[in-house]
Amino acid sequence: MESVQIGNFQIGPGHPCFIIAEAGVNHNGDMNVAMQLIDAAQQAGADAIKFQSFITEDLVTANTIKAKYQENNTKIVGTQYDMLKGLELTPAQHGELKAYCQKKRISYLCTPYEHKSVDAIDKIGVTAFKIASTDTTNIPLLMHIARKKRPVILSTGMCSLGEVELAVNTLKKSGLRNKIVILQCTSEYPAPMAEINLRAMKTMEQAFNCPVGFSDHTPGIGASPWAVAIGACVVEKHFTLDCTMPGPDHLASIEPQELALLVSTVRDVEMTLGDGIKRPMASEIDNKEKMQKSLVARTNIGVGQKITEQNITCKRPGSGLTPVWFSRVVGKIASKDIDKDSLLTINDIDWT
């Protein structure tokens, strides 16, 4: 599997997990809030922050009703159109956000929801396109995004493996190769723990030979560190300045201090995973010598006396002849006097 380069980051096995702070529409249409989200994400240690770009008229019909979670979170029954219209940002505003991200040294990512937004954020030089789960089956949009030749992070909520296969094949046939990252996702807010299905990451990794990751909609820092433990190369998590702010996604987001905890926990998980080579670790060396065992004389053994199973045993410390040699030592002759309860050494044995 080849890694995928997104800005200065290599995404794939063997590289640090790419952590995306999903700001989404949690700016509530306010650029000051959007800038504060960038500050918070950078301070928490996230590698990237992601926004959403859409033209409401091209995204939903005028009478499309809200999803149940949107009604619950906003406490308002109404249309998606009315809700989304107040959350739009212009291409010029996205340009400002990208420039501010560059200043703050955090990658700017964006999810476009229709063709005009794809063109607009491509023009400002977005680092990578994020494709929302709502558009995994939107073949015309996938083809349009692929032709931009930028890296793509593909969420797969609400999709079967066959639908993911169609999306990946569409991106590849449209000219996008070695630039696709696939995220396991459960599109509910918050997502039930019993329906997260982290093992689906490995299924998709094997099926499509692409780096995989996890778009996390679970409560709190949720399942992101667990996902990293089983191989997620990317994690994405909704975050907000304040979960009590009005809007559709705040209640299903984490706040800055939780984002910092998520980042530090993921980095701890990566550190604990190690390199996979089984060997004594540096911190164990002193304990190995003191806590493992050696061959020890059970009785006084005189020079020329045969060593038997009855006159040797195994005791701490581990600085003498290892018990692995037990069967090789039994039957040999002592080359010198060996005192009771002393550790056997190579030189104690006549090996001829």
Q: Give the model confidence (pLDDT) of 291-338 as tens digits.
A: 999 999 999 999 999 999 999 999 999 999 999 999 999 999 999 999
How far is Cα 343 from Cα 57, in angstroms, rounded to an integer?
83
Indicate the average pLDDT of the chain. 95
Does residue 203 sit in the same domain as residue 305? Answer: no
Q: What pairing do the DSSP bridges indicate for beta strands 48-53 and 18-24? A: parallel
Residue-number span of the structural domain to which 335 is assigned? 282-350
- Band of the pLDDT at 121, cuts 50, 70, 90? very high
Secondary structure (3-state) at 343: strand
Tell me what pLDDT residue 246 has.
87
Indicate if the pLDDT at residue 100 is higher than 90.
yes
Does residue 151 sit in the same domain as residue 289? Answer: no
CATH number of the domain within which 69 lies:
3.20.20.70
Question: Quick one: average pLDDT of 196-221?
Answer: 97
Strands (E) in 119-268, as ranges, are 129-131, 152-155, 180-185, 212-216, 234-238
Residue with tokens 């980051």: 9
How far is Cα 299 from Cα 85, in angstroms, rounded to an integer?
89
91-104 and 31-44 helices cross at what angle (nearest 10)?
30
**Structural domain tally of the chain?**
2
Residue 220 region, left (φ>0) first, then alpha (ψ -120 to 50), else beta? left
Does residue 183 sit in the same domain as residue 290? Answer: no
Does residue 198 sit in the same domain as residue 87? Answer: yes
Which residues are 52's β-sheet partners? Answer: 111
How far is Cα 37 from Cα 164, in angstroms, rounded to an integer?
31
**pTM for this predicted structure:** 0.90
Distances (CA, A) of 316 to 81, 107, 342: 74, 54, 11
Indicate if the pLDDT at residue 73 is higher than 90.
no
User: pLDDT tens digits for 252-278?
Assistant: 899 999 999 999 999 999 999 999 999
